[in-house]
Amino acid sequence: MTRDIVIEAMDGADFAPFGDLLSVSGAPDRIINQGLCGRWHDQARIDIVDGRPGISLFQSEARILPLALAMVERHPLGSQAFVPMSLDPFLVVVAPDHGGTPGRPRAFRTSAGQAVNIGRNIWHGVLTPLHAPGLFAVIDRIGDGANLEEHWFDQPFTLRDA
Amino acid sequence: MTRDIVIEAMDGADFAPFGDLLSVSGAPDRIINQGLCGRWHDQARIDIVDGRPGISLFQSEARILPLALAMVERHPLGSQAFVPMSLDPFLVVVAPDHGGTPGRPRAFRTSAGQAVNIGRNIWHGVLTPLHAPGLFAVIDRIGDGANLEEHWFDQPFTLRDA
């Protein structure tokens, strides 16, 4: 099987097994502030075990395609939402679990204005901006304990456009 | 006393009585992802009573200065974080409490890459982007109950640059 993974456009239905896509598509759930603001309500399943959710900022180096994917990780104790603080797309890499190890990964490229919440214990790649400044707000678990499992592939995959 | 309020540059120390400034100034608290990413850890005091925190998206009309400020509001049951999803500055209007009514407001203009968390029960103006698309992720309380108090000023203030 080819080690190349063709990047897909982000789609909420395709992504649903792995987490939540946050976006303002469709009509807002509520109109607030004297009609001047729409609210798309409660878009992420925050799922934290034995801790509390917090907001941290991440700044990551932008990557260039094609990109080698050598490792994925998962967090058994909490979901992790990534909110880009610029309108630039970024890559979201996720993989199904096959009995404790990751199956073949999938890679999604977001559109401007999309954020994601990766489900608790879902295999995923590290934060992968495609443009500087690579700045994100991250809503994830604050707490002690072992909350990181890494899996290194025998051979890296290559993430590329079609 | 003049009804004009001169907009100040956002400063974490000046803003501290009203909430938290989230930014990547200074060295990161941790370096993660094989050295490629900095984490500025746990920057917001999420303070939710009788409910849970959630992530919603807001899209608001951009405002033009000078701007009339007729109303501020507060949420007795929860803090409210505003994370801009573009690099554009926005206005943050807050006011001290004087025995149940707001004192003279202050207005802060953020810099690119800054987010804010407004404290529980702190008087504040509605979300005020200065540029389209006016898109924000908002981390606030999800739950039932009365969580909004509005105060309309007898005379509006005017927010303006110096």
DSSP states of A83-98: EESSS--EEEEEE-EE
> CA Rg, chain A, in Å?
16
Instruction: Give yes or no for a contact between B36 and A61, defined as CB atoms under 8 angstroms apart.
Output: yes
Closest CA to A121 of A139, A95, A93, A88: A95
pLDDT of residue B54: 98
In Å, how far from its chain's centre is CA B27?
24
B73 Cβ contact list (under 8 Å, min separation 6): B123, B124, B125, B126, B148, B149, B150, B151
pLDDT of residue A153: 97
Q: Read off the pLDDT of residues A79-93 as tens digits, 9 standing for 90 and up.
A: 999 999 999 999 999
pLDDT of residue A42: 98
Q: Read off the pLDDT of residues B51-106 as tens digits, 9 standing for 90 and up.
A: 999 999 999 999 999 999 999 999 999 999 999 999 999 999 999 999 999 999 99
Instruction: Give yes or no for a contact between A89 and A63, defined as CB atoms under 8 angstroms apart.
Output: no
Residue A138 has pLDDT above 80, yes or no: yes
Considering only CB atoms, which chain A residues are within 8 Å of B60? 33, 36-38
Structural domain boundaries enclosing B8:
4-160
**A135 to B126: CB separation less than 8 angstroms, yes or no:** no
**A24 to B55: CB separation less than 8 angstroms, yes or no:** no
Confidence band (pLDDT; 50, 70, 90) for A38?
very high
Considering only CB atoms, which chain B residues are within 8 Å of A60? 33, 36-38
In chain A, residues 85-114 whose CB comes closer than 8 Å to chain B:
85-87, 113
* CATH number of the domain that residue B81 is part of: 2.60.120.480
pLDDT of residue A26: 93
- Residue A10 Cα distances to A25, A109, B157, angstroms: 13, 5, 44
Confidence band (pLDDT; 50, 70, 90) for A66?
very high
Q: How many domains does chain B have?
A: 1
pLDDT of residue B46: 98
pLDDT of residue A80: 98
**B57 to A36: CB separation less than 8 angstroms, yes or no:** no
- Residue A35 Cα distances to A13, A26, A70, A120, B45, angstroms: 30, 17, 48, 36, 29
Chain A residue with the nearest C-alpha to that of B52: A46
Whether the CA torsion A19, A24, A27, A29 is positive or negative: it is positive
Among A40, A55, A59, A144, the residue to mutate for chain B (most B Cβ within 10 A): A55
ipTM metric: 0.97
pLDDT of residue A109: 98
Whole-model pTM? 0.97
Q: Read off the pLDDT of residues A5-16 as tens digits, 9 standing for 90 and up.
A: 999 999 999 999
